[in-house]
Amino acid sequence: MRFLRAVCFIAPLVAGVQVDRRGREVYHGYKVFRVLTDGDTADFEAQLESLSAIELSRNRGHIDTQHFDIAVPPESLDAFHALNYEAETLTEDLGADIALEGELEPFPGLETSVSGANANAKVAAAAALPSFSWFSAYHPYADHLTFLKSLQAAFPSNSELITAGTSFEGRAIQGIHLWGSGGKASKPAIYYHGNVHAREWITSMTVEYITYQLINNYNNDTAVKAVLDNYDFYILPIVNPDGFVYTQTTTRLWRKNRQTRSGTTGAPGDTPENTGIRTYGDKLGAGKGIKLYIDWHSYGQYILTPYGYSCSAKAPNQSRQDTLAKNVGAAIAQVHGTRFTTGQTCSTLYATAGGSNDYFTDVTPAELAWAIELRDTGTNGFTLPANQIIPSGEESWAGQKYLWANF
């Protein structure tokens, strides 16, 4: 985090940092490397800071090693190479990658305004779902709210918009609650969070894809009807709205929320966003209980089970969770061949403190509490091209359908 903050505060003063005409950083000439380090990450982190490099992700390699994916600004490339780390180049020009994401496009309207060419038009004529072309591009934050409202209007007797607290900058953390034939809030919860980390745009699009398909298929797919009749879905596609907006206006690779850190402890869970979504989850836990919690992230293609804080601690149903995760990975791979690595967070990725799937294992227990890291494995990273939104949605939908039918 220190690196991000350093980059963001210093960037306007450093020669060579470029912004476009709307004031967004463009990252031209930044290269992305996967660097193998030994266990001494503090030393490596200090090096990163001196290079004004941006940490993108890290994960555990073999015993006592870590891989870091880092973006190095052009003016630091010589200094980085002089350090002689074992490194693989993932991206030659991060700015070019970001351009591949495409422009942000406005809400495309409702299916009824689309003239039958769309595969979903048959259902849409009755339901007035938003246009499926939503999933062909990334969108401004305000349009995500319009999209959610339109989903709700297409499923009026079985859904309502929900709010899980307020962000640091005062935005409502909005989502949608779906239920089936048993009526509102009559069944255990399936609780999804997207875009906890601001720069992980594919997560909100994928969570929205799943929501869309739940509504679109409730009346024509018995498995979808069964899961909605047996569980209440509480879906928050963008739980970090301030950070998400900031990635769209200013700094594409911003990760956290926008809370100023002075006067806070900086401990996990202390942001207003975390308080809001945790409180909402506590309420679900105290109600009908939580069957499944998933915190959707990118990137890396992982399905992660508890725990993050310890590599030796086990959830009471650990082996069942691990088996289900493995089988979900297999169901995902059948769609487009995308391989997800599955396992416990700590041993698969790295030790984390304050992870939300730990919270939803121990404090407000969910029967299954996972984090999923979506596409890709580093080629495009957080800036996944828009033409991968639908494939990511399709494979994730298949994975969730497997899970709902077998958990």
Q: For Zn ion, which stretch binds (CB under 5 A), given 16-24, 89-97, 100-108, 289-297?
A: 289-297
b/e sequence 334-349, b meaning 16+ C-beta within 10 Å:
ebeebebbbbbbbebb
Left, alpha or beta for 241 (phi > 0: left; psi -120 to 50: alpha)? alpha
* Element at 236 (helix H, strand E): strand 232-236
Q: Is 373 a catalytic residue?
A: yes
- Strand ranges for 278-395 from DSSP E: 290-298, 302-305, 341-344, 366-374
Q: Rounded to the nearest whole angstrom, what is the least distance from the CB of residue 295 to Zn ion in the complex? A: 8
Q: Which is nearer to Zn ion, 197 or 252 (CB)?
A: 197
Q: Which is closer to Zn ion, CB of 291 or CB of 297? A: 297
Three state DSSP letters for 265-297: CCCCCCCHHHHHHHHHHHHHHHCCCEEEEEEEE
Phi-psi region of 249 (alpha: psi -120 to 50; beta: other; left: phi over 0): alpha
Distance of closest approach, residue 272 Cβ to Zn ion, in angstroms: 18
DSSP state of 25: B
Question: Which of the ranges 67-75, 160-168, 291-299, 308-316 carries the binding residues for Zn ion, by CB under 5 A?
Answer: 291-299
List the one residue from 297, 300, 322, 366 that touches Zn ion (CB under 5 A).
297
SS3 (DSSP) at 208: helix
Rounded to a whole number of angstroms, the minimum distance from the CB of residue 197 to Zn ion is 3
CB of 225 to Zn ion, least distance (A): 32
Shortest Cβ 349–Zn ion spacing (Å) = 10
Separation CA 344–CA 39 (nearest Å) = 19
**C-alpha pair distances (Å), 358 with each of 267, 305, 308, 318, 361:** 15, 9, 6, 12, 5
In DSSP terms, 305 is beta-bridged to: 344
Residue from 197, 258, 278, 401 in contact with Zn ion (CB under 5 A): 197
Binding mask 107-146 toward Zn ion (x if CB under 5 A, else -) reads ----------------------------------------
Q: State the Cα angle at 287 between 284 and 290, rounded to 5°.
A: 50
Q: Which residue number, 171 or 297, has a Cβ lying nearer to Zn ion?
A: 297
Stretch that binds Zn ion, among 31-39, 53-61, 95-103, 290-298 (CB under 5 A): 290-298
Task: Identify the active-site residue in 273, 373, 394, 395.
Answer: 373
Kindly report the backbone phi and psi dihedral angles of residue 163, in degrees, each rounded to the nearest multiple of 5, phi listed first.
-130, 130
Q: How many residues bind Zn ion (CB under 5 A)?
A: 2
Q: Please list the residues that pair with 190 across neighbouring strands.
A: 233, 292
**187 or 197, CB closer to Zn ion?**
197
Q: What's the start-to-end Cα distance of the chain, in Å?
A: 36
**Pick 177 or 197: Cβ nearer Zn ion:** 197
Nearer to Zn ion, 151 or 198 (CB): 198
Provide the strand spans (E) within 99-183. Answer: 159-166, 172-178
Provide, rounded to whole angstroms, the least separation between the CB of residue 306 and Zn ion: 17
Question: Would you give the binding string for Zn ion spanning residues 29-48, x where CB under 5 A is met?
Answer: --------------------
Which is nearer to Zn ion, 239 or 325 (by Cβ)? Answer: 239
Query: Should residue 193 be labelled a site residue for Zn ion when binding is judged by CB under 5 A?
Result: no
Beta bridge partners of 57: 69
Specify whether the CB–CB gap between 92 and 100 falls below 8 A.
no
Helix (H/G/I), strand (E/B), else coil: 305 = strand
Look up tokens 């969910």; give the residue.
Answer: 366
Q: How far is the CB of 112 from Zn ion (least distance, A)?
A: 36
What are the catalytic residues? 373
Residues that bind Zn ion (CB under 5 A): 197, 297
